[in-house]
Chain A
Amino acid sequence: MTTRSKTPNTKATTTKPARRASTAASKANILKTNVSNTKVSKSNASKTPRKNTANVIGIESRSKPKLASVVIIGAGFAGIGMAIRLQQSGIKDFIILERGSEVGGTWRDNQYPGAACDIPSNLYSYSFAQNPNWSKSFSGSREILDYIKNLVKEHNLESYIRFNCNVVDTEFHEEGGIWNVTCENGNHYCGRAMVMAQGPLSNASLPNIEGVEDFEGHKIHSARWDHNYDFKGKKVAVIGTGASAVQIIPELIKEAEHVKVFQRTAAWVMPRPDFNVPNWNKALFSKIPATQRAVRNALYLGHEAMALAVIWNSPLTRVAEKIGAAHLKNQVKDKWLRRQLTPNYKIGCKRVLVSNDYYPALQQENCKLITWPINKISASGIKTVEGIEHQVDCIVFATGFDVCKSGTPFPVRGLEGVELSERWARGAKAYKSISVTGYPNLFMIFGPNSGPGHNSALVYMESQLDYAVKGISKILSENLKLMDVRSDKQRRFNADIQRRLAKTNWNSGCKSWYLTEDGFNATMYPGFASQFKAQMEKFKSTDYRIVKA
C-alpha cells in the first residue's frame, strides 16, 4: 500500500523562494555544506535586472536568446518525459533548463542509504518507455536514476538540456505571446509555451526547531546526503519518521554506534512485497513485451483498488488498518513501543509507508525511538521535553520537502505582471492541475490537486504530459498568441475538487504536508487514477480564451 511513490518521486530543478524569512537563514546555514542548489529568495529574484533593450522579446541577455517553441523547467522525471512526448509528437524545438549538473531531479538528489521507490518498478516507469531489466520489484534510487539517464541517452536529449541553470524568474509577455525565463547565471531563455516540471518535492525542508544552527556536530538532510561522512562509531539522531526515515534507519543502524529516532507522529506502515526479479522474468519481459504490459496493468488495477481504502473512509479502510496493526503487532512485541508506533488517525490521512525492516531496526540494541517533543537543538545534541539532552555526533534530518502549496518555487508573472504566488496566497488553484487562468501558454506538471494517494505518480504524470502536448500543439499549429484557461472553468473545476476532497481521508482532520496551515488541500486529487486520466484525456479548447497571433 503506498501513496505516490517513494519519498522523492518527483524531480528537482528549480529554486524556491524563501517564504518563511525568519527561519530561512538558519536553515540555509544547515544545508549549505550539503546542498548544491540553495534556495533563492523571491526578493533576490525580483532584483534581477530586466531591461527592454536587447531583442525582440525585450529582455537583456548575456547571450541573445533564441525563441524556442517550449521551455521546460526541470530535467527530472517530468521534464524528461515532457521532452520525449514532445519529440514523439513532432515538436523538437524545445529547451530544458536544469539547476543541477545532471538529470534525475529528486532521484538524483535523494541518494541516501536505502532510498527506494514505494511503487513497484513496473508501474513507476513510463508506459511508453518500459524497462524489462528492473532488478527488484521495488527499485532503489540509483536504478531509477539510471533509468532516467537511459531515457535521456535513448532519446538524444542531452543537447536540449541547459545544466546549472537555476531559474529565478519567469514572465509572460502578452504582446508577443512569449514566456521569458531568467536563470541565476544570468542567461535568458524564451519560448512560445512554458512547462513547469520542477516537481513539488524538489526542495529539502528543515524542521522549525529552535537552535538548529547551534548544533556543532554534522548535519545531513536526507535529500542532500553526505556520502563522505563515515557513520562508523558515531552517535546519530534521526529527526522525522516519514518515508525517507523508514528507509534510512535500517541502513544507519548497520553502521552507526547508536541511532536515536525522534518521532513526532506515528505513521501507518504496511508490509512491503519486495523481491529480486529473476533473470527468466527479465528475459520474458524483454522478448514478449506484452507480458510486462500485462503485469503493469495488473499492478495498476491493484493500486486502483487501494483507493477505496486509502482515499475514502470505507470498510476497506478498516481492513487496511487491520493489516497495518497486524504488521505492527507481528514485528513489535513490546506493548509500550507498539503504542508509541500506533497512529492516531485514519489510514490514508497522511502518507502510508511501506517497510519490512523499519520496526525491526527500531528494536535493535543500538537504536531507540524517542517520542518526547523536541524542545531545542543544542551545540551537542537534542534537548527533549523530558529534560534530557540527547548528545549525538550527527543529526540526520529526514524531514521531507518544502511543498509549494500556495506559492511557486520561483516568480511566475502572468498577464499584467501578476505573480502567481500572490494569486495563490490563499491556496493554489489550477484547472485540471495543469493550467492557471491569467497564465497563458503555461503547463504545470504536478500542479495543484494532482497528487496520487494510492497509485504511481508516473501514471498521473503521463496523462499530464499528454495533455500539455495537446495544448502546445494547438498553440504552435494554430499560431496562437494566447491560450488562457477561462476563469469560470477554473472556478467550477476547483469547487468540484474541493467538494470531493471534503469527503476524503486527507481532509479528515490530521495534519499533513498535503494541507496548508489553514487546512486547504491544494495537493491531492480526490479520485481514482483512472478518473484523473479520463479528465486529462479531454482537451477542450472551448475551456480556454484564445487569441491568435
Chain B
Amino acid sequence: MASIDLDKMLEKVKKTQWSLDEIDWDAPGAELITEEQWPKLKDFMADLMWIEHVGARAFAAMAKKAPTDTLRELYSYFHAEEQRHANAEMALMRRWGMLDGDEIPEPNINLRLVIEWLDRYSDEMPYYVLGTVVPMLEVALDGALCKFLLDTVDDPVCHQAFEKINGDEARHLGVGFTVMEMQGRGKSTIKAMQMVAPLLDPRLILGIASYFPLLNKMRDNIVAMGLPEERLYDAMRKFEKIGGRTEDGRRNPWFQIIKHHGRMVINRSNSFYHVPVDALVRLTGRIPRRALPAVPSWVYELTDKPTSDVV
C-alpha cells in the first residue's frame, strides 16, 4: 500500500459519511440467523462491538496527539466512525433480538481491562505507539472478525451494514499504514531508540499486559465460533506484509516490535509466549467485575438507535 495524500483522504472521509438511518433495520432477512448460530453470534457481536469501541477510544487519544491538523481531524472522524460501527453492530444485535430494553452488551473481561487501560493511560501514550498498535488491532481483529461474520451470516442487512463499515475501515488502514511509514522515514538509530524507550514506561507495560491476553482471548473466541484460527493469523500476516512493504515502514521500530509479537502469536508452538499469556487469559478471567472501577462515561455514548430526540 503506497503512502496516501492525507489532505485528499480527509476530503474523501468527509464526503463518504453515512448514518444509521440509511439502513432499514426492519427489512426482511433477520430470520436467516439460525437458532444454532444465535447464542454464539450474540457473544461474537458483543465482542466485535466492543473492539470497535476500544478502537474508537484509541483514535480519540491519537486525535489529541497527532502532529498535524489534518491528522488530528482525520482521527476525530475515525473516532466517531468507530463509534458508528459499534452503534451499527448494536443495531444488528437489536435486529436479531439479542438486546433487551436499553441493555448494552457487556464486554468480556479482557476487553474490560483494555477499556480501563485506555481510559487511564491512552492519552499519555506516545503517538507512534498507538499509531502502530491500532492498525494491528484493526487488521487482526476487526478484519478477521468482519470477514468471518460475512462468511457465516446470510442476513442482507448485515452485509449492507458491513459494506459501509469495511469502506471506512479501508480508509482507516490506509491512513494507519501511511502514518507508520511517515514515522519510519529517515529515522536515525538514536531516534529509533528514543521511540522504543517508552517500553520502560510502567503504564505501557500495563497496556501490554492487557493487550497480549486480549489477542489470545479473541483467538479462543474465534475458535469457539468455529472459525479456523488461521484466519486470524492470515490477518496478522497482512499487517506484516503491508506495514513492511516500504523501507520507511520497515524502519519504524514499533512496526518491528509489533510484527515480531504477531509472529509469536501466530506460532502456537511458541510455548515461551503462549503458556504465560494463556495463563494470563485464565487469570484475568477470574477477576471479579466488581473489583474493577465503574466504566467510564464514554461507554454510555453507544446507541443502536439511528435517531435521537432526547439528551
Contacts and interface: CB of A to CB of B under 8 A. Distances in A.
Interface of A: 235, 258-260, 334-337, 339, 344, 365-368, 372-373, 375-376, 380-381, 383-392, 511
Contact of A386 (B72, B84, B309, B311): B84
B92 interface: no
A373 B77 contact: yes
Given A259-B311, A372-B83, A511-B69, A388 B119 contact: no
B123 interface: yes
B69 A388 contact: no
Given A258-B309, A389-B308, A392-B309, 5 more contacts: A335-B297, A375-B19, A385-B80, A386-B80, A388-B87
Interface stretch (B176-184, B222-230, B257-265, B298-306): B298-306
B20 A387 contact: yes
B81 interface: yes
A179 to B, nearest CB: 42
Contact of B17 (A259, A381, A385): A385
A335 B80 contact: no
14 contacts: A335-B119, A336-B298, A344-B64, A366-B311, A373-B80, A385-B17, A385-B80, A385-B84, A387-B87, A387-B306, A388-B307, A389-B307, A391-B308, A511-B69
A386 B311 CA distance: 15
Interface string B56-87: 00000000100001001100110011011001
A388 B77 contact: no
B86 to A, nearest CB: 9
Interface string B98-119: 0000000000000000000001
Contacts of B306: 387-389
Contact of B310 (A258, A336, A375, A389): A258
B18 interface: yes
Contacts of B309: 235, 258, 381, 390-392
Q: Dominant SS at the A interface? A: mixed
B311 A373 contact: no
B296 A336 contact: yes
A369 to B, nearest CB: 10
B80 A372 contact: yes
B88 A387 contact: yes
A365 B311 contact: yes
A335 B57 CA distance: 14
Contact of A339 (B18, B69, B76, B123): B123
Nearest to A260: B311
A291 to B, nearest CB: 48
B31 interface: no
A386 B52 CA distance: 12
B87 A386 contact: yes
Given A344-B64, A391-B308, A385 B21 contact: no
A517 B34 CA distance: 56
Contacts of B123: 339
Contacts of A511: 69
A365 to B, nearest CB: 7
A381 to B, nearest CB: 7
Interface centre among A258, A372, A386, A392 (most CB of B within 10 A): A386
B311 A389 contact: no
Interface in B259-300: 296-298
Contacts of B72: 344
Contacts of B77: 373, 385
A177 to B, nearest CB: 48
B311 A387 contact: no
B80 A336 contact: no
Contacts of A388: 19-20, 87, 303, 305-308
Which 8 A-B pairs have CB atoms at the shortest separation, nearest pair first? Answer: A385-B80, A387-B84, A391-B309, A368-B311, A386-B83, A387-B20, A375-B17, A336-B297
A185 B81 CA distance: 51
B127 to A, nearest CB: 13
Contacts of A380: 307
Contacts of A383: 17, 19
A339 to B, nearest CB: 7
Nearest to A510: B69
Contacts of B88: 387
B311 A367 contact: yes
Nearest to B297: A336
A258 B80 contact: no
B186 to A, nearest CB: 23
A255 to B, nearest CB: 14
Nearest to B65: A344
A357 B10 CA distance: 36
Nearest to A383: B19
A388 to B, nearest CB: 5
Contact of A258 (B19, B297, B311): B311
Nearest to B86: A386
A380 B307 CA distance: 10
B81 A385 contact: yes
A511 B69 CA distance: 9
A70 B196 CA distance: 69
Contact of B80 (A365, A384, A390): A384
A257 B64 CA distance: 33
Contacts of A260: 311
A373 to B, nearest CB: 6
Nearest to A264: B76
Interface centre among B18, B307, B309 (most CB of A within 10 A): B309
A383 B308 CA distance: 10
A373 B18 CA distance: 12
Contact of A381 (B18, B297, B307): B307
A386 to B, nearest CB: 4
Contacts of A372: 80, 83
Interface in B12-59: 17-21
A303 to B, nearest CB: 31
A380 B83 CA distance: 22
A337 B307 CA distance: 22
Nearest to B300: A336
Interface string B117-146: 001000100000000000000000000000
Contacts of A373: 73, 76-77, 80
Nearest to A261: B311
B211 to A, nearest CB: 22
Interface centre among B17, B20, B76, B119 (most CB of A within 10 A): B17
A159 B80 CA distance: 57
Nearest to B164: A387
Interface centre among B64, B80, B119 (most CB of A within 10 A): B80
A288 B297 CA distance: 56
Contacts of B308: 388-391
A484 to B, nearest CB: 40
A387 B18 contact: yes
